[in-house]
A and B are shown apart, each in its own frame.
Chain A
Amino acid sequence: MLEYRVEIALWAISGIIPFFMLNIWTNNNLNESINISDLMLSRYFLCAFFVRQFSVVWVVFSFEEDSLMGKVSPYLIQPLNPFLRYFAQHLAEQITRFPFALIIAFFFFIFNPESIWIPNIGILFLSTISTFLSFLIQFLIQSIVACLCFWTEKASSIERLLFIPTLFLSGLLAPVVSFPEYVKSWIYLTPFPYLIDFPANLLSGNKTNIIGGFSMQILWILLLFPVFKKIWYEGTKKYTAMGS
């Protein structure tokens, strides 16, 4: 992984959209209406950046390429689910990302020195867990989509479709509390706010329902895991290797 330092640094830079959003929010005093101070909002978006960095998933694209190239066949013979292989890849890359994310945070604090804060160990621990759970939810959703490769061969367009609600509803561009009432009434039942909004609120010290958030995250994992097992089981039966 260390071989691809530039690549990973570029991925880290490509995640800076939350900072542009922060700029729009504070520059137009939009946050006054939602009762979040500039300071808390800047912490929120910094945390959203971090959570996004450590929960981003691209297993569909890897799997689609491997499946189109016929590389899945040797993986299937091995006595290990190939998704564990992708899972390990993701974890390894997240660890290599850590220093780059820290550098970006460092620059952020240079420009916004007043927003420096140190979360206590307990909060840090809890938010790491919730970020990991958010990563797990996204990994499961994408793995389910990736398994559709067995039927359609091009699953990445479905993933792009699913990415749209993730982008707009997860809290990456605007905190979920700022959403209008008619969206807030149902959004907490979907997995989206638990992907970025919940861990970011937890880490930045904004108000959030800790127990409710964790239980929803675990509930979604428990719901998605059997779906993945089922679709994987059906898909491998359906699988016909390229050129056979």
Chain B
Amino acid sequence: MNLRKYLKVYTKFLHTSIASELEYKTNILIDLITAILSLIGSIFLLSIFFQNNGTIGGWDFEQALIIQAIYTILNGITNTWFNPNLTEIVKHIREGTLDFVLLKPIDSQFFISLKKITPSGFLEIILGFCLLFYCIKINHININTSFLILFLITIICSICILYSLWFFISTTTIWFVKTWNATEVLRSFLYIGRFPLNSFSFSLRIFFSVFIPIAFITTIPSEVFLGLSQSWKIMLEVVVAIIFIFTSRKFWLFALKYYSSASS
């Protein structure tokens, strides 16, 4: 019953936000070109790295392309759902409109995380999948069900971690109203998800797996793809993802206690 209500609300969200995005049709075309160019740019950068080296951090060029593909998919998901919604939290808090969200007879985290959608991010997701299929071909990967299930699990965990990171950062604006560009810091950290974790020095590797688990997000699903991943790593990712989702929920409820609406 409850679930059905949420599904119904979500289809309404989809409808309104796609309708409003289609108002700017040329924008979608420009975004498509941007996504293509950005993929070309990062492959270009990767090719510079591999110009005179066979491997980087133990990864071949063809294998590193898988990381690029997964990064592109996840970046598309970020641009479609996380970026438009979670940057909106900041606006809600600054202008005091969070009151209206809290008054609605629906879960506030649900409303705030899924209200909007930017359809041009889909193009990036599609591009990412195209690259991924190409990688399957050049790396001679045989697809079987157990592999697909593992891949699905890890990618879902990656999405959960990514969502929680965005949500954490955006929620902190309840205390520090003016930190809307904290998401920009996160964005630049996420940028390193384009490269295999092993290509960084030891201290940075620790930093990116313990403090900001960016390493988990792209490297583990890619390792699954190549059949290199140990099962403890996958288990660890699942545990980390559950912890992140759970604490992001707790953190939101905790933060709301400190929310004093504007002019009150």
Contacts and interface: CB of A to CB of B under 8 A. Distances in A.
Interface in A135-192: 152-154, 157-158, 160-161, 164-165, 167-168, 173-174, 178-180, 183
Interface residues of A, number: 37
Contacts, number: 96
B201 A27 contact: yes
Contact of B181 (A11, A26, A168): A11
A164 B182 CA distance: 21
B44 A168 contact: yes
A161 B37 contact: yes
B150 interface: no
Interface residues of B, number: 38
B201 A168 contact: no
A27 B196 CA distance: 12
Given A23-B200, A23-B201, A180 B47 contact: yes
Interface in A5-58: 6-7, 10-11, 13-17, 20, 23-24, 26-30, 32-33
B254 interface: no
A170 to B, nearest CB: 11
A107 interface: no
A138 to B, nearest CB: 17
Contacts of B33: 161
Secondary structure dominating the interface of B: helix
25 contacts: A6-B176, A6-B178, A7-B179, A10-B185, A14-B187, A14-B188, A17-B188, A20-B200, A23-B200, A24-B200, A26-B201, A27-B200, A30-B52, A32-B52, A153-B24, A157-B30, A157-B34, A160-B31, A160-B34, A161-B30, A165-B37, A168-B41, A168-B42, A168-B45, A174-B49
Interface of B: 24, 26-27, 30-31, 33-34, 37-38, 41-42, 44-45, 47-49, 51-53, 56-57, 176, 178-182, 184-185, 187-188, 191-192, 195, 199-201, 204
